[in-house]
Amino acid sequence: MTSTIDASTSDPVAASVSARSYGENFYWLLNVRLIIGLTIVMVLAVGSFILPLFNTVDPAAQATYWKNLPVSWEHLLGTNALGQDIFWFLVYAIRNSLMLGFVVALGVTIISTIIGLSAGYIGGAFERVVMLFVDTFITIPLLPVLIILGAVIRGNSNFLTVGFIIIIFGWAWGARTVRSMALTLREREFINMARFSGANTMDILMREIFPYVSAYLLVGFINTVLFAINTEATLAVIGLSKVEIPTLGSIIFWALSYNALFTGNYVWIVAPIVATVTLFVGLFLTSTGFNAAFASKRGVS
């Protein structure tokens, strides 16, 4: 930024041209991304957490209302073939999916940070063994594992078991990225400085390396929320999650299994699709927006 200001005083024409083609356009895009993304996510998150306070009916209870009612003031998105209010089911679905995503992302971020940082910083045989496991977990296709586990714990599963399994298989990507960051950090001057000043490994990890990695962690966290919501929803769509609990996947599972389109109840399947796409684009814009903001702050861009 300072160089742009300097240049503009010396040669205003050239500076404004270059700023328009690179700087201004880029900053404009980045801010807009973050703002749009955050707005979408906040509206959906706050809405789906506050609205249930005003609701007294269990959205998953069947035959609460007449079946397949059209859109009206009483039922904002109509009712489905199971006699549930689609709007309230969707609100709870967004809330539950976001909650699961948050819990899983928390677990994954903690595990991958600890493993990635220690592997990258300690190095040696420890690092090689850890990376072997990381590569294995990245290679193992998740869906077959989830299908087999879904079949074993069928019926006895609860919603959190699904989250727990996603954590077990979701930490490897993050650990890989954190480790490569730790590798480059290990060689930096200020790390050696800290070590010569008598700081131990734990101190260096927590005080010197962690602040550097934390910007990435936020972006990684949001991406993991996306991954977790997506994975649970995928399982639910094919009927292998806890489909009785409203999530963005289970609502589509029910709509598909009751042939919502054949019966002409388009809202039942289109509404969750629109909600999911909005939420995912919002989360994605937030994560890339943060990423770009951090990059420009560090002076990378």
Partner 1 sequence: MGVVQYIAKRVGLYFAVLFIGLTITFFLPRFMPANPIDGYIGELQSRASGSLTSEAIAELRDNLEQLYGLKGDLFTQYVSFLNRVVLHFDFGPSFAFYPEPVSNIILNALPWTLTLLLTTTVLGWALGNMVGLVAGYFHTRKLATLLEIVGIMIYPIPYYILAVSLIILFAYIIPIFPLSPTFPVGDISLSKIWLIVYNSLLPAMALILAGFGWNILSMKALAVATTEEAYVTYARLKGTSHWTRMVRYVFRNAMLPQVTALALSIGTVFNGALLTEILFSFPGVGLIMRTAASGGDYNVLYGAITVSIVAVATAGLVIDLIYPLLDPRIRHK
203 near partner 1, rule: CB under 8 A: no
Give the separation between CA 192 and CA 55, rounded to whole angstroms. Answer: 58
Draw the binding track, 13-32, toward partner 1 (x: CB under 8 A; -: no contact).
--------x-----------
Q: Return the H-helix or E-strand segment holding 24.
A: none
Query: How far, in Å, are 31, 95, 177, 288, 301 from residue 292 at the CA level?
Result: 9, 28, 17, 6, 8
Which residue in this structure is represented by tokens 């586990």? Answer: 149
277 near partner 1, rule: CB under 8 A: yes
Give the separation between CA 100 and CA 94, rounded to whole angstroms. Answer: 10
Question: CA end-to-end span of the chain, whole Å?
Answer: 11
User: Helix 124-139 to helix 159-186 angle, to the nearest 10 degrees?
Assistant: 140
| C-beta atoms surrounding 157 within 10 Å | 17
DSSP 57: S
DSSP 299: T
Smallest distance from partner 1 to CB 22, Å = 9
61 vs 132 by CB, closer to partner 1: 132
In this structure, which amino acid lies at residue 181? M
Smallest distance from partner 1 to CB 32, Å = 12
144 vs 211 by CB, closer to partner 1: 144
287: nearest Cα among 229, 223, 228: 223
Draw the binding track, 209-248, toward partner 1 (x: CB under 8 A; -: no contact).
-----------------x--xx--xx--xxxx--------
Smallest distance from partner 1 to CB 233, Å = 6
124 near partner 1, rule: CB under 8 A: no
Contacting partner 1 within 37-96 (CB under 8 A): none
103 vs 165 by CB, closer to partner 1: 165
158: nearest Cα among 97, 243, 52, 227: 243
Among positions 46, 147, 193, 295, the unique one binding partner 1 when judged by CB under 8 A? 147
Among positions 35, 61, 148, 295, the unique one binding partner 1 when judged by CB under 8 A? 148
Among positions 17, 35, 43, 143, the unique one binding partner 1 when judged by CB under 8 A? 143
Smallest distance from partner 1 to CB 229, Å = 8
Q: Positive or negative CA dihedral for 124, 126, 127, 128?
A: positive
Q: Return the H-helix or E-strand segment holding 61.
A: none
Exposed, middle or buried: residue 153 (CB in 10 Å: 0-12, 13-18, 19+)?
A: middle
23 vs 239 by CB, closer to partner 1: 239
66 vs 262 by CB, closer to partner 1: 262
5 near partner 1, rule: CB under 8 A: no
Q: Which stretch binds partner 1 (CB under 8 A): 12-20, 50-58, 59-67, 284-292?
A: 284-292
Give the separation between CA 275 and CA 248, rounded to whole angstroms. Answer: 8
Give the separation between CA 136 and CA 139, rounded to whole angstroms. Answer: 5
53 vs 151 by CB, closer to partner 1: 151
Query: What residues does 79 pair with on adjacent strands?
Result: 85
292 near partner 1, rule: CB under 8 A: no
57 vs 143 by CB, closer to partner 1: 143
Residues that bind partner 1 (CB under 8 A): 21, 132-133, 135-136, 138-145, 147-156, 168, 226, 229-230, 233-234, 237-240, 249, 252, 256, 261, 269-270, 273, 276-277, 280-281, 283-285, 288
